[in-house]
Chains A and B, each alone.
Chain A
Amino acid sequence: MPISTLFTVILLLLAVAFYAGQRKALGFRARAQTQALPFYHGAWFAVYLIAPACAVLAVWSLLDGVLIKSMVLQSLPAQFSGASDAERELLYSEVSRLAYSRFSSTNADALQGSVGTYMSLNATSLKIKYTLSAMVMLACGAWAWLRLQPAFNARVRFERVVLALLLGSACLAIFTTVGIVFSVLFEALRFFDTVPFHEFVFGTHWSPQMSIREDQVGSSGAFGAVPLFVGTLLISAIAMTVAVPLGLLSAIYLSEYASRSFRAWAKPALEVLAGIPTVVYGFFAAITVAPLLRGFGEMLGLSVASESALAAGLVMGVMIIPFVSSLSDDVINAVPQSLRDASYALGATRSETIRQVIIPAALPGIVGGILLAVSRAIGETMIVVMAAGLSANLTINPLEAVTTVTVQIVTLLVGDQEFDSPKTLAAFALGLMLFVTTLCLNVIALKVVRKYREQYD
């Protein structure tokens, strides 16, 4: 049954169940005093009729693939018994394609038996799935129907279900974090089985291309990530040297000097910069800024790589300006007016007040904001993918091409992947590094910002 049909059937059943439950409640409401409105009887009944069956359906759908796979692989003819795990994967996908499409392979005859098993298993699984769900639905429905009585407080029960749903939604944030940690960690650990951790973190040679054949000339895969870390830091540093002064000065000007009307349109206009998709910045950096810098460098007699770190860094800095400025704006506005008044009363000019009173008072908050901006710059992907290079040069010269952690993740994972080659797994190890770094920066920054906010509240 296609998903859309299943969905419609479930919705229909929900509606019917709700109506039936409500009707029953309306019926006994005429005779006796009830504990809840008929709406709640209907809603509670509908939930108990549908939810357990849906749970069974979902669990079975998730598990049956794995079960069928292991059973089919056991049924493989003897000639394949020596196959490795990867080959067995391939054989399995061949079986499933043979079963459901006009696909032909050299193994078609040998796999005939397995294809038959596969198809019959699938058919049985489908049958069991729907029968089981229907049985669960009938059992739960009957139990719930009997409980619908005047003395039954359906409202309290139903509200409990709703509360559980609300809690579940809130916990999704935890599941997401756990999911990220496990998915990245698991693959990264597999990577560290083949490439030692210290080699990855301290190695200075990065060339992840593995030779396909044993006798092939070329790189055998080196996974020293230092050039990537240096490249990432270089581009982030360029971005921050653009974004921090410009963002901070803009925030100071807008909150301390600008007239109300100028501020009213200038602030949203600056924030437009933050709303532009990063892919647009990437295109801008690659097509416009990089050639400009190159031409400019030629004028000065410098050789600028066409994928220089400078172009990517500059554009990334522009992207981060509004981020720095709006965070600094918040903290500058949180500095109490009394501090300013005191400084003016002592005869300080506005700029002296800003430099000697407001900035020192706001400093922890500003640092927190800058840390968040750094974490943003490190994790930024599209600008560097489009404007920075692919070759891992270990250099801190901003005119040369460098590569970054995110660029490598994208290049390693886009296209076909095999999940047992260190090349693919390396992307997850890089992802782990990225996640851990940005997480630490975020935790520190959020702590600093929060602590600072409380100081003047």
Chain B
Amino acid sequence: MSNSHSPSTIEIVNRNLAVRYARERRFRRLGLAAVLSGFAALIFLMVTIVGDGWRAFQQGYIELEINFDAEALEIDDPADDDQWQYADYTSLIRSALRERFPALQTRKEKKLLYSLVSPGADYQLANMLVENREWLGQVQRVRLPVDDDIDVLLKGYVDETLPEDERRISNAQIELVKGLKSSGEIALGFNHIFFTAGDSREPEQAGIRGALIGSFLTLVVTLSLSFPIAVAAAIYLEEFAPRNRITDIIEVNINNLAAVPSIVFGLLGLAVFLNLFGMPRSVPLVGGIVLTLMTLPTIIISSRAALKAVPPSIREAALGLGASKMQVIFHHVLPLALPGMLTGAIIGMAQALGETAPLLMIGMVAFIVDIPAGFTDPATVLPVQIFLWSDSPERGFVERTSAAIMVLLFFLIAMNAVAVLLRRRFERRW
């Protein structure tokens, strides 16, 4: 038999082995390629955002010698705050510009000159003078933000080889700026306006402070509502709930709500809180309530996991010493489960911080310049601010959108890092 020509099993296997191993290697490489393409997407995203955005942390400033002449400002009664606030600062800036360039006399040339400085610079000047009242009657060198077109030029985004009428900046402006740049009167500096101002129609005057405060107020409402409610619900479901229909319905509901699209929560907020209860539009209070409903399932699920991780021996020991069931939970189980619950809450808050869609529904997309001072002031939040700016075509806003995204991602990373640290610090193996 052994001399027959039918191949033995081992021969068949050996013959195919090379092909099978090649297939094995291919499959393995395919898997690695999938993982790496995920990373590639992540890195591409990050590089684009950072590459677009880091320049927004810089802003062009022009140094001017401003003569704070009391007569020109028409401040005759220093005790009257309105006079300080509403004086004509624009003409002060203009005369300073004219004095710097006495040669430019025609209307057109002057207009060119005035276009260097941001149209909102008079507010900055007013604030400077109000803070340093002794400047009145003196000549001071101050730094004012330049117009966003000039800012874009300073950052090198303007293609000077284009024909003049296809650019937003004329050759004369470019010459003017080059002169000022070489004398050091125009320079890029840290963009503090971005962190201290509210929204604005002018890119160089727009900041994220209003959105940051709005986000903070909204998250305060969300956290103070969702954490206690989620912990209470988790305690009930994990420790008290009898196995019956109602409990089943609650559990199914929680699991489903975790997967309901966030925009549906926005519809709920619009129909119930705004229309039915007549709550005001675009305020952090309503935004916080809507986000509470949205994040509750997440926090409940992680809180239940934390409660489950506490070993039954703790409960039995406490019960054995005569504690009531409520005392067992609130005195012994809850403190042990709290770090895990907090971790879940922070992750839920990170989710709420990045959420946009439901807040659009309850009107938090309004253009709001003022910085909110309370839970019932109109406000916007950071992701919505990003959404609003992303619609603006100006280069300055594209840059600021990316910068706002960087700030948002910074906060998200910080929150997740805290969650990880908390878990490491308090994690217990029983």
Q: Is the CB of A179 within 8 A of B49?
A: no
Q: Using A245-B34, A269-B42, A351-B27 as known contacts, say yes or no to A428 and B233 having CB atoms under 8 A apart.
A: no
Q: Is the CB of B38 within 8 A of A273?
A: yes
Using a Cβ cutoff of 8 Å, how many contacts connect chains A and B?
Answer: 258
Most chain-B Cβ atoms within 10 A of its Cβ — which of A183, A378, A406? A183
Q: Is the CB of B271 within 8 A of A378?
A: no
Residue of A nearest to B264 (CB): A435
Q: Is the CB of B261 within 8 A of A379?
A: yes
Would you call B268 an interface residue if the criterion is a C-beta within 8 Å of the partner chain's C-beta atoms?
yes
A439 interface neighbour in B21, B41, B256, B355, Cβ under 8 Å: B256
B interface footprint on A149-189 (CB within 8 Å = 1, 0 otherwise)? 00000010001001101111111111011011001101100
A267: shortest Cβ distance to chain B, in Å?
Answer: 9
A357: shortest Cβ distance to chain B, in Å?
Answer: 14
Q: Is the CB of B268 within 8 A of A173?
A: no
Q: Using A173-B233, A183-B268, A187-B271 as known contacts, say yes or no to A283 and B390 having CB atoms under 8 A apart.
A: yes
Q: Is the CB of B354 within 8 A of A279?
A: yes
From A49-57, A99-107, A249-257, A293-301, give the one contacting chain B.
A249-257
Residue of B nearest to A176 (CB): B293
Residue of B nearest to A278 (CB): B356
**Chain B residues in 8 Å Cβ range of A414:** 360-361, 363, 365
Interface positions, chain B 403-426, Cβ under 8 Å from A, are 405, 408-409, 412, 416
Would you call B181 an interface residue if the criterion is a C-beta within 8 Å of the partner chain's C-beta atoms?
no
Residue of B nearest to A349 (CB): B24
Q: Is the CB of A184 within 8 A of B236?
A: no
Q: Is the CB of B38 within 8 A of A283?
A: no
A65 interface neighbour in B229, B268, B278, Cβ under 8 Å: B278
Q: Using A173-B233, A414-B365, A434-B264 as known contacts, say yes or no to A282 and B390 having CB atoms under 8 A apart.
A: yes
Q: Using A246-B34, A413-B361 as known contacts, say yes or no to A170 and B232 having CB atoms under 8 A apart.
A: yes
**Chain A residues in 8 Å Cβ range of B253:** 173-174, 176-177
Most chain-A Cβ atoms within 10 A of its Cβ — which of B232, B265, B398? B232
Q: Is the CB of A283 within 8 A of B272?
A: no
Seen from chain B, the residues whose Cβ lies within 8 Å of a Cβ on chain A are: 13, 20-21, 23-24, 27-28, 30-35, 37-39, 41-42, 45, 48-49, 52, 228-230, 232-233, 235-237, 240-241, 249-250, 252-257, 259-265, 267-268, 270-272, 275-278, 293, 296-297, 300, 324-326, 350, 353-357, 360-361, 363, 365, 376, 383-384, 386-387, 390, 398, 401-402, 405, 408-409, 412, 416
Seen from chain A, the residues whose Cβ lies within 8 Å of a Cβ on chain B are: 3, 62, 65, 155, 159, 162-163, 165-174, 176-177, 179-180, 183-184, 186-187, 245-250, 252-254, 256-258, 266, 269-270, 272-273, 275-284, 286-288, 318, 321-322, 325, 347, 349-352, 354-355, 372, 375-376, 378-382, 385-386, 406, 409-410, 413-414, 419, 427-428, 431, 434-435, 438-439, 442-443, 446
